[in-house]
Amino acid sequence: MPPKHKPGHGRPKKTAMRDDREKEREKNEAGLVDNGLVDLALPPMTPRKSRQKRVAYALLSWDDLPAWRRDNVYVQTGYRPTSHSYIASFASVAAIHNESVNIWTHLGGAIVATLLGLTLYVESSEIAAYWASLNETLPAVTAWLASVTTTALAATGLDDLVLPLATSTAAGDPSATLVLSCFAGGAVACLGMSATYHALSNHSPAVARWGNKLDYTGIVFLIVGSYVPTLYYGFFCHRWWMTLYLYSIGVLGTACLVVSWLEHFRTPAWRPYRALLFVALGVSGVVPIAHSLFWLESGATLGARYASLNAKIGLGWVLLQGALYVFGAFLYAARWPERQWPGQFDIWGSSHQIFHVFVVAAAAAHLRGVLQAYMHHHQQYHVLGATCPAS
């Protein structure tokens, strides 16, 4: 009879080798190998560990990807393994891979937009309400405090942003806060949804599809939200046209949402057409701008009418925003520069990453234009809409 294996005396050699091979195969299938490509620090496995347990994630190549993750053949390396875990996908944000730029450009933009929104709406509204209540009982003290506040805001460089908004809020102009909120909310939604999608894009087919729909939804929110203050200020004294254009942009944005959520239009083959659809939404504001510039603005020359509209809506910044969107979308659809140099822009500088940077830059340009329009209207009317030229 063959000798029996005794507990505590090891185990048969073949069984141990087979178990080791199975464990190695399981690690490879999960994409977990200790090759030093990306070293991601994770929390300790047990309290007794004095150092962090480190798990290295292997970056995969295009050939290693399942079919549902294959999108851009010209980006050949730098892919995270499929995680099937929300924790693992979010933890990989701290590593370097070909989604890092996509995640961090929009995550950073969402954080900045949120903080800016809080500065413009929460703090200014509280300051305005405080001054208004004091003004009823302590006018002299109010004047002194307002002077101190103005000096403090000027020292921090916030006076041009906060004080006009605080003044209008105190004067009872919630519409200004509403239209600015549309833009700020659209920016936060777009950038936040985009960062979330790219962080979870390696989770599973179902989560990736859901996240991609959110990504397109956020783009629609940003574009439509950007046009709300522009149309509001540009057509404030032409309410019928303002209403018509706001509804038109809303309908076009809704159509983009419907198309974005249909599975048929989410395949790589439809990428150029999806991009063109969103370009159409992005440049749809050309019609109301041209209408205002050539028919509604006063001025003997085109230059004079441009100057008038530029003061009203920050037209130069709006045009810059549109150019950034269009150029970024063109690179994204053409997949340049990685199409020209495959594998050279896998981690840094691919067309999708460039598009993300352009989206943030376009949002910043539009914000500058909106603030210019806001300050122009409140300096001219004190309370927006108190005076409109006779038609």
Residue 371 burial (CB count, 10 A): 19
User: Angle between the 124-137 and 139-156 helix axes, to the nearest 10 degrees?
Assistant: 160
d(CA 100, CA 98): 6
Residues 308, 286: Cα–Cα separation, whole Å? 17
Q: What residues are designated binding site for Zn(2+)?
A: 198, 352, 356
What residues form the annotated binding site? 198, 352, 356
Residues ≥6 apart with Cβ < 8 Å to 352:
72, 102, 332
Say what angle helices 174-200 and 100-117 make with each other, to 10 degrees: 160
CB atoms within 10 A of CB 226: 29
Instruction: DSSP letter for 72, please.
Output: -
103 in Cβ contact with 89 (< 8 Å): no
If residue 156 lies in a helix (H) or strand (E), which one and from where to where?
helix 139-156
- What span, in angstroms and rounded, lies between the C-alpha atoms of 239 and 138? 39
Hey, is 57 helix, strand or coil? strand
- Using alpha carbons only, give the angle 134, 139, 141 rounded to the nearest 5 degrees: 80
